Amino acid sequence: MDKFVIDGGRRLFGSIRAQSAKNSVLPLLAASILTEQRVTIRETPPISDVACMAQILRELGAEVRFEGGDVTIDSANACDHRISSALTKELRSSVFMLGSLLTRFGRAVCAYPGGCDIGLRPIDLHLNALKRLGVEIEEREGYILCSCKRLKGADLVLDFPSVGATENILLAAVMAEGRTVLEGAAKEPEIVDLQNFLNAMGAKIAGAGTDTVVIEGVTKLNGCDYLPIKDRIEAGTYLIGCAVCGGEVEVEGVNADSLGLLLHKLRENGCKIHVKNDKIRIASDRRLKCNRRIETRPFPGFPTDLQAQTAALNSMAEGCALIVENLFETRFKYVPELKKMGADIEVNGRSAFVRGVGRLHGAAVSCGDLRGGAALVLAALGAEGTSEVLDLAHIDRGYADMEGKLKSLGAQIRRVRV
């Protein structure tokens, strides 16, 4: 087990390039088993979630090779339709494999998915949609057993724009017989990226990024060579880090439109934001003001994956902020750890009231989930004194070389084996 030791109070200066999006790469890896031809995904981030998904593919019989930052998947010899319970419980995104395995083999077995402990995150939307596509589903002793003779297109409506359910439907319907029309689809950029990836393989999908996605089933998919979009959540985390610490930082590679509400909120805090092409520059040279209200919503609303980081920022700003979490019911588990550093935050159900206290102080804190862990790192960077951030396995799920990137900006941070 590793920990970060962070000496806070250093301003950040410099430029970094965003990694490929974790939330895009994982469904792309799941989609790679849809073809017997080779698939190469470029600039894949070396994070533990990617390693876990690669191991799932290997256990299904695929050959997976990492070379120079790229990953190549050859699924010609894949023959298994069962995902081990150990890997399923480790990785929430393993649920994407249901659609892919049903398309490839007509069968799929997996345990209920795990991942970060941020709420129940039921997969009823996934299962109900699969049933409409002709899948028979049995739930037995914590396992989901799926089978179908032939996937058939259908008209589907999601009661909530679930990212995972939308992606699973694309993977299940891409080679189904006939047309599938999905209403109420999630609009996240990662949905568009999955559509573009599948279309590069020969799929016929249109409408991703809107409420309605239309999938015309095809009989075969080919291999492809693909570069995913950059990680808007990672980029947003480092932009918030500069706001917390002060200084001037440029993040390269990310589409500013995917972070529209975050940039608005950072301007509201008092930061200066400049956007040019795929570069976002932030400057912070004084104590910031609290956001009056931040409310998480599905895209294009404020991202739930940046909620914890903005709480860390507001805890050191001037004034008070109300943060409302609409997507996950237990996503404030990081708050007791921030309080160890002197934060004044009161949680009531899905809302957190933050009173800015100025500077936090160093403390030993533990990561409980990926984004909450990132928030603790940002708080430690802006705090007075030395902090220890424990349980880095959560952070390593989604951030590649976080300490290296922060060091390049002037942070005093080091990884220590406990």
Q: Indicate which residues carry an active-site annotation.
A: 116
| Residues 188 and 194 sit within 8 Å (Cβ to Cβ) | no
Both tokens of residue 118? 């941020």
The contacts of residue 96 (CB under 8 Å, 6+ apart) are 26, 27, 30, 31, 164, 167, 168, 171
DSSP H stretches of helix in 136-249: 163-173, 189-200, 232-245
Sheet of 12-17: strand order equals 12-17, 247-252, 279-284, 272-276
Specify the 3-state DSSP secondary structure of 138. strand
Q: What is the rounded distance in angstroms from the CA atom of residue 195 to the CA atom of residue 198?
A: 5
β-strands 63-67, 143-147: how paired? Answer: unpaired
The sign one gets for the Cα dihedral 393, 394, 398, 402 is negative
What letters, b where the CB count within 10 A reaches 16 and e where it falls short, cover 76-92?
eebeebbbbeebbbbbb
Any residues with CB less than 8 A from the CB of 158 and at least 6 apart, and which? 125, 129, 165, 166, 182, 183, 184, 185, 186
Cα dihedral: 198, 201, 203, 205 (round 10)? 40
Distance separating alpha carbons of residues 365 and 10, to the nearest angstrom: 19
Taking CA atoms, 86 is separated from 51, 117, 138, 324, 372, in Å, by 14, 16, 20, 33, 24
Q: Could you please report the per-residue DSSP string of 345-361? A: EEEETTEEEEE--S--B
